[in-house]
Amino acid sequence: MTYSSKPIPARAGVGLKPQHFTDIFSSTDTTTRNVAWFEIHPENYFSAGGRNHDYLDKIRTDYPLSMHGVGLSLGSADGVDKQHLSLLKRLKDRYQPALFSEHLSWSRFEQHYSNDLLPIPYTKEALRRFIANVSQVQDTLGVQLLIENPSSYFLLKHADYTEWDFLISLCKTTGAKILLDINNIYVSAANHGFDAKLYIDAIPANLIIEIHLAGHTEEQHDFGRLLIDDHGSEVTDEVWRLYEYTIQTKGVKPTLIEWDTNIPDWQTLTTQAALANTVLSTDLNPIEA
């Protein structure tokens, strides 16, 4: 099947979950109009066929699609896994996503894999490795990659850059762009005691192509409070306010509601999308990138 080119509009999208397939295609469900596009984790679609592909074929016919990878391990010192990259290319060629993104992290060394997005040191050596890996991915897939800023829970002792300067340098060198996760910024700022707006202010508006919003949880430890980016609840009021600030200062951007654990019912998810659409359509004196 050949899909028509559908750019992702500056409206809200949601992650595509099997639990919501029936609701999405329900002719009586008016909440679907709050959703302008869908995002998938491509690793969930590496098989050649099956029920998930049947539904994704239908979704892709009517909606723009974004692919948000979780397994490329862009920070791996031994490079990008060629088999993983080949599977991504096959999927990308099949569905023609409008956006393709990954994370500022690593999760693999040789044949050892971690089911997590692990932090990296923001050093010159790490930047060189990221530049090489991102360039390889972009050349192989034929896409402009979006790099998502992480959430963090501890600080490594040595760094040559702040996180935002590292991310900006990576994108300017490779031609990649940024997927700005507002919840991740809020979580990291709360955990490490810096002003979240300083991070947002540092990012050039023309580098930001997409925004993510999600919920987080709060844990209490002997050392104090720790926020965990778990994508398992509604976006908090503090993150909504930070999102409004971002739209006001950087301009309107396609915005995804991430909800990957404790999956809610369809109405709850689309209500969050409607809230994002309200921010995107409100006169906040947006600055178009």
Q: pLDDT of 138-171, one tens digit each?
A: 999 999 999 999 977 677 778 899 999 999 999 9
Whether 63 contacts 99, CB under 8 Å: no
Given this model, what pLDDT does residue 2 score?
64
Domain boundaries, the chain: 12-281
Looking at 34-48, 62-76, 218-232, 235-249, which range is the least confident one? 218-232
Two tokens at 69? 């990878």
In the predicted model, is pLDDT for residue 289 greater than 60?
no
- The yes or no reply on domain 12-281 and CATH 3.20.20.70 is no
In the predicted model, is pLDDT for residue 4 greater than 70?
no
* Tens of pLDDT, residues 99-127: 999 988 755 555 645 565 657 789 999 99
In the predicted model, is pLDDT for residue 36 greater than 90?
yes
Given this model, what pLDDT does residue 88 score?
94
Distance, in Å, from the CA atom of 121 to the CA atom of 154, rounded to the nearest integer, reads 11
Average pLDDT over every residue of 239-263: 97
Given this model, what pLDDT does residue 25 score?
85
Given this model, what pLDDT does residue 286 score?
40
Between β-strands 99-103 and 145-148, what pairing exists: parallel, antiparallel or unpaired?
parallel
**Number of Cα atoms under 13 Å in the Cβ half of residue 131:** 14
Model's pTM, two decimal places? 0.91
Average pLDDT over every residue of 66-90: 87
Two tokens at 257? 């509601």
Q: Give helix then strand counts, H and E, for the chain.
A: 9, 12
The pLDDT confidence band at residue 175, using thresholds 50, 70 and 90, is very high
Phi, psi dihedrals of residue 190, rounded to the nearest 5°: -65, -40
Average pLDDT over every residue of 278-288: 67
In the predicted model, is pLDDT for residue 280 greater than 80?
yes
Average pLDDT over every residue of 171-193: 96
In the predicted model, is pLDDT for residue 282 greater than 70?
yes
Instruction: Quickly tell me which residue has 């006001």 as its tokens.
Output: 248
In the predicted model, is pLDDT for residue 15 greater than 80?
yes
Given this model, what pLDDT does residue 107 score?
59
**Mean of the per-residue pLDDT values of the chain:** 89
Given this model, what pLDDT does residue 58 score?
93
Given this model, what pLDDT does residue 288 score?
41
Looking at 78-82, 191-195, 249-253, 267-271, which range is the least confident one? 78-82
Distance, in Å, from the CA atom of 155 to the CA atom of 191, rounded to the nearest integer, reads 10
DSSP 208-275: EEEEEE---EEEEETTEEEEE--S-SPPPHHHHHHHHHHHHHH----EEE---SS---HHHHHHHHHH
Average pLDDT over every residue of 193-201: 96
Percentage of the chain surpassing pLDDT 70? 90
